Amino acid sequence: MNSDINQSNKLEFIKKELQERKTNNNLRQLNAIYPKDAVTVIKNGKRLINFSSNDYLGLSKHPQMITASQDYLNRYGTGSTASRLVSGTYDIHEKLEEKIAKLCGKEAALLFNTGFQANTTIIPTLVNQKSLVLCDRLVHNSILQGIFLSQAQWKRYKHNDLSHLETLLKKAILQGYNRILIVTETVFSMEGDRSDVDRLIQLSQQYNTLLYLDDAHALGIMGNKGMGLTAYQSGIDISLGTFGKAMGSFGAFITTSKGMRDYLINCCPGFIYTTALPPAVIGSIDAAFDMIPNLDKERDYLLQQVSYLQNNLINLGYQVLNSSSPIIPVIIGNEEKTLKLSNFLENNGILATAIRPPTVPKNTARIRLVLSSQHQPEHIDYLINLLKQYHEF
């Protein structure tokens, strides 16, 4: 019996893909580090200042977070042991959801295990083959995966070009879709710039669409008391936040209406069929929400340092995107050159990871510098001096 599938070639696709990525300087590998504190790590026995972490406020190492996590661990055990609808909803899950909703000025909140899980499973619960999704061209991969899984028709509008979005909306309302969903990020994870949230809300209301905003990189560092750019904003059907960035922990949540919350509890597979977040994680998140509203001083310092670093990089001749967040992308373009710069920095005590396609568009490989409120001025000046040396080579 003849067959194209046999023991010798069934894995050929893996070898081919990895070789192609290696040839194009896009092969990824895992590199273990040991975090010493909020902004320094040990890698291969060498101490590095970390400019790649999303721990914007350094809370992952905060004693209050650790104490709360240990307390919940001791009281509730190591795992929630079941999905939320079976027996995995502890009182601490519901209390945290109530707390989040109140702090964000929304009717309700619902916990998810990761932001990626939430985006990939909520979007297909909202739309179907008869729907249209309109998204920013540079949205996170998790949003794209959710759109693909939904089987909805979809179109991308030019990055942060809401005039283009409105043009697409005007055409869409005449085409008989059962619903239209606008979905984007409030702060873009690889660019660091912001969406115009007020205008998005206005367009959504004008054209009667669903509006889903991923607020992951704004939560903790922007908005009223650090509650993000969607907090206390009406007209947003779902706002996503994550705990693995400025919150210093793990997991995700949405804020929404009570009706939407009930709908997702009953219809969203990613919520229904997964084990609930463990108690120790819930404890750390609860502590983070106690601290975040009181960290205005840290947020002000952080944004001052962002401006300082951006201005210095521009003066040195680097191509820096117009970021308005702690994410400062330094565009190099060529993958090999980007890797060389990353290696130079690491050899001199700086961890600054190279970001390459397909994570970012072709010819836009970059060093994605990320600042924390725990970076001291001398850390930033040292980074600037290294980049000056490299630029002069």
Fold held by 61-293: Aspartate Aminotransferase; domain 2 (3.40.640)
What percent of the chain is helix, strand and coil (3-state, nearest 5)?
45, 20, 40
Task: State the pLDDT at residue 381.
Answer: 97
Q: What is the CATH number of domain 25-57+295-392?
A: 3.90.1150.10
The domain segmentation of the chain, as residue ranges, is 25-57+295-392, 61-293
Catalytic machinery residues: 54, 140, 185, 189, 214, 217, 245
69-113 pLDDT tens trace: 999 999 999 999 999 999 999 999 999 999 999 999 999 999 999
The answer for residues whose C-beta is within 8 angstroms of residue 111's C-beta and 6 or more apart is: 84, 93, 96, 97, 251, 252, 253, 276, 277
Question: Hey, what amino acid is at 12?
Answer: E
Beta strands in the chain (DSSP E): 34-35, 40-43, 46-50, 108-112, 132-136, 153-157, 180-185, 210-214, 238-242, 252-256, 319-320, 327-333, 350-351, 354-355, 365-370
The pLDDT tens digits of the residues spanning 140-188 come to 999 999 999 999 999 999 999 999 999 999 999 999 999 999 999 999 9
DSSP designation for 325: S
Q: What is the mean pLDDT of residues 206-210?
A: 98
Long-range contacts of the stretch 337-346 (C-beta < 8 A, 24+): 337/365, 338/365, 338/366, 338/367, 339/25, 341/367, 341/390, 342/367, 344/386, 344/390, 345/383, 345/386, 345/387, 345/390, 346/43, 346/48
- Kindly tell me if the per-residue pLDDT of 4 is higher than 80: no
Tell me, what's the pLDDT at 27?
A: 87
User: What is the pLDDT at residue 365?
Assistant: 93
Banded pLDDT at 344 (limits 50, 70, 90): very high
Q: How far is CA 226 from the centre of its chain?
A: 16
Same fold across 25-57+295-392 and 61-293: no
What is the mean pLDDT of the segment spanning 45-72? 97
User: Which tens digits make up the pLDDT trace of 227-269?
Assistant: 999 999 999 999 999 999 999 999 999 999 999 999 999 999 9
**Which of 164, 185, 190 has the alpha carbon at shortest distance from 230?**
185
Q: Does residue 198 have a pLDDT over 60? A: yes
- pLDDT at position 7 is 58
pLDDT at 2: 53
* pLDDT over 80 at 41, yes or no: yes
Average pLDDT over the chain, rounded to whole?
A: 95
Q: What is the 3-state secondary structure (H, E, C) of 84-119?
A: HHHHHCCHHHHHHHHHHHHHHCCCEEEEECCHHHHH
